[in-house]
């Protein structure tokens, strides 16, 4: 006992950090149950109770306490715990050795395959981890079987350090060999025969580069729904967006804007490093046709590629088997539910990876690079920050005047009387006051630019005028363009040729 007390005092920090259920362990707790640990008693109670409720092999035990006492007796006899070195602890893989016969037949069959699998049969840590998972998955409704929990349950000697990294790698080796399954909600579990078949079918689904790009496109569309609209002189500007991946998608529409006055984001999901080079995009972003776009070049697309492929496979499995849900076996129905949960989790991971990859990339506008993370800590914040920054440059001739329908109607009246001040010289400059009378001089910048455009084009449609002056560098609202056209018509500078009927040359 003195030796145990000394060992406990010496190794208490490691126990608290790395052993199961030892966060609040005291010296007396340790001495009372050694070579087990206090938290293991409740853990084994839960495991034996679930074994009895699930497995026909364990139905003979009427009480959890009786089952636990039997387990402890067998454990001490078969594992010869009394002969071990003082400092050794009971681990879950040792408990497995006296409990595995009570597991369901399908689990035991898979475990036999694990023990004989060429890639892991000589991997001692992987085999210990598999044994721990076989028992821990019985209580996954209470506690997910993650690498941290498995590592704690395999802590076997006082003084051992943190085993989480090594155990996590061993679990992943088992999962890669399709011997363990994994979900974010429940963690690792022994892969059933049906589960192995399901995983093989899943892995056989081919995912093309174009499909990956389409996944990215969909996630960018979702991400664009989060940021507020950028504002300039009090007016919000909508987002418009395109995606190009350099292989399959070129200017593929991500988000459309019915308003010509938009901030257009040009996402570049480029795999090759040289395609993402800073020198390339400084030059390209300052030349037509990209000069009026906010170019956003992805950082490292590698993380997106792998997760997007997993997402596409999962979506295909849900689509394939969800269509015949009612006819699936009980096990297949369970696997479908797990796949749906996996798809939901992958959706979040894809969105996160897309956001992070672009945040690690570079923004360009008119030959000037911008660091996304300097503009905001999230995708939405960075995009909004970039939009607000470029708007004065994108729309240097922006007119913040808003014209109502009632005000526009004033310009179409036969006699001008008390028109809105928005139309006068201090506003749009459509009207001037001359000897007490309102005259349509159209001397303001807005009507003058519109007239010049019509003259240079030698006539154009109203829709074309609205589109031209709605976009950069003007950003004129539709009602402003209409008011200017009404003023130009009133002044006799333009005439309107409708599809049907006579030509209109004046308001009268």
**Domain range list for the chain:** 2-191, 203-207+305-352, 209-299+354-394, 405-491
* Structural contact between residues 446 and 428, judged by C-beta atoms closer than 8 angstroms: yes
pLDDT of residue 359: 98
Give tens-digit pLDDT for 43-97.
988 888 887 776 554 444 445 555 555 666 666 666 665 566 778 888 999 888 8
Give the mean pLDDT of 420-439: 94
Q: How many Å separate Cα 101 from the centre of its chain?
A: 43
Give tens-digit pLDDT for 327-338.
999 889 989 998
Lookup: tokens for 440: 């349509």
pLDDT of residue 67: 56
Average pLDDT in the chain: 90
* Separation of alpha carbons 394 and 443, rounded Å: 24
Neighbours of 74 (CB within 10 A): 14
Give tens-digit pLDDT for 142-198.
899 999 999 999 999 998 999 999 999 999 999 888 889 888 888 999 988 888 899
Neighbours of 165 (CB within 10 A): 10
In this structure, of 191-195, 272-276, 383-387, 480-484, the range with the lowest mean pLDDT score is 191-195
Q: Residue 498: is its pLDDT beyond 70?
A: yes
pLDDT of residue 61: 44
H-type alpha helices, 177-224: 193-203, 209-223
* Separation of alpha carbons 165 and 151, rounded Å: 9
- The H or E element containing residue 344 is helix 330-359
Nearest-5° Cα angle at 462, 480 to 263: 60
Residue 410: burial class (beta carbons within 10 Å; 0-12, 13-18, 19+): buried
Q: Which residue has the higher pLDDT, 148 or 106?
A: 148
- The H or E element containing residue 368 is strand 368-370
* Structural contact between residues 476 and 259, judged by C-beta atoms closer than 8 angstroms: no
In this structure, of 91-105, 204-218, 402-416, 429-443, the range with the lowest mean pLDDT score is 91-105
Give tens-digit pLDDT for 258-300.
888 999 999 999 999 999 999 999 999 999 999 999 999 999 9
Cα 249 to Cα 209, 212, 257, 264, 471, distances in angstroms: 10, 11, 20, 17, 24
Give the mean pLDDT of 408-428: 93
pLDDT of residue 58: 46
Q: Is 351 helix (H, G, I), strand (E, B) or coil?
A: helix
Among positive and negative, which fits the CA dihedral 31, 34, 36, 41? Answer: negative
pLDDT of residue 299: 96
What residues have CB less than 8 Å from 225, skipping those under 6 apart?
Answer: none
- The H or E element containing residue 407 is helix 405-411
């Amino acid at each position: 006992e003195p030796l145990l007390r000394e060992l406990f005092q010496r190794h208490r920090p490691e126990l608290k950090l790395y052993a199961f259920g030892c966060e609040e362990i005291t010296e007396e707790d340790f001495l009372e149950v050694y070579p087990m640990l206090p938290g293991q008693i409740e853990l084994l109670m839960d495991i034996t109770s679930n074994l009895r409720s699930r497995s026909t092999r364990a139905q003979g035990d009427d009480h959890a306490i009786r089952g636990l006492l039997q387990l402890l007796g067998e454990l001490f006899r078969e594992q010869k715990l009394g002969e071990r070195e003082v400092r050794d602890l009971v681990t879950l893989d040792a408990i497995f050795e006296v409990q595995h016969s009570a597991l369901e037949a399908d689990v035991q069959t898979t475990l036999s395959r694990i023990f004989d699998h060429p890639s892991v049969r000589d991997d001692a840590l992987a085999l210990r981890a598999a044994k721990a998972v076989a028992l821990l998955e019985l209580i996954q409704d209470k506690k997910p079987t993650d690498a941290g929990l498995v590592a704690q349950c395999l802590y076997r000697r006082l003084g051992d350090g943190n085993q989480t990294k090594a155990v996590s790698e061993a679990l992943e080796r088992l999962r890669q060999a399709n011997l363990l399954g994994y979900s974010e909600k429940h963690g690792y579990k022994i892969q059933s025969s049906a589960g192995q078949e399901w995983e093989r079918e899943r892995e056989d689904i081919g995912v093309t580069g174009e499909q990956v790009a389409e996944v990215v496109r969909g996630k960018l569309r979702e991400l664009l729904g989060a940021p507020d609209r950028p504002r300039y002189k009090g007016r919000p500007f909508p987002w418009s967006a395109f995606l190009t991946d350099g292989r399959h998608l070129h200017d593929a529409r991500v988000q459309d804007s019915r308003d010509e006055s938009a901030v257009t984001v040009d996402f570049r999901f480029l795999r090759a490093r040289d395609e993402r080079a800073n020198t390339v995009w400084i030059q390209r972003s300052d030349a037509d046709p990209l000069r009026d776009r906010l170019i956003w070049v992805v950082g490292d697309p590698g993380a997106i590629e792998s997760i997007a492929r997993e997402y596409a496979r999962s979506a295909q499995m849900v689509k394939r088997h969800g269509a015949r849900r009612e006819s699936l076996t009980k096990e297949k129905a369970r696997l479908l539910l797990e796949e749906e949960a996996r798809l939901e989790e992958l959706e979040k991971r894809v969105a996160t990876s897309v956001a992070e990859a672009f945040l690690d990339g570079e923004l360009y506008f008119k030959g000037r690079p911008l660091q996304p993370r300097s503009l905001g800590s999230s995708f939405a914040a960075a995009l909004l920050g970039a939009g607000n920054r470029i708007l004065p440059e994108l729309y240097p001739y922006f007119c913040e005047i808003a014209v109502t329908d009632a005000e526009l109607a004033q310009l179409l009246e036969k006699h001008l009387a008390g028109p809105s001040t928005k139309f006068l010289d201090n506003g749009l400059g459509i009207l001037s006051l001359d000897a007490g009378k309102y005259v349509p001089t159209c001397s303001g910048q807005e009507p003058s630019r519109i007239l010049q455009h019509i003259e240079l084009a030698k006539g154009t449609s109203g829709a074309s005028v609205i589109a031209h002056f709605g976009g950069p560098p003007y950003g004129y609202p539709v009602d402003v363009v209409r008011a200017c056209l009404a003023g130009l018509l009133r002044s006799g500078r333009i005439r309107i040729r409708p599809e049907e009927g006579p030509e209109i040359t004046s308001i009268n």
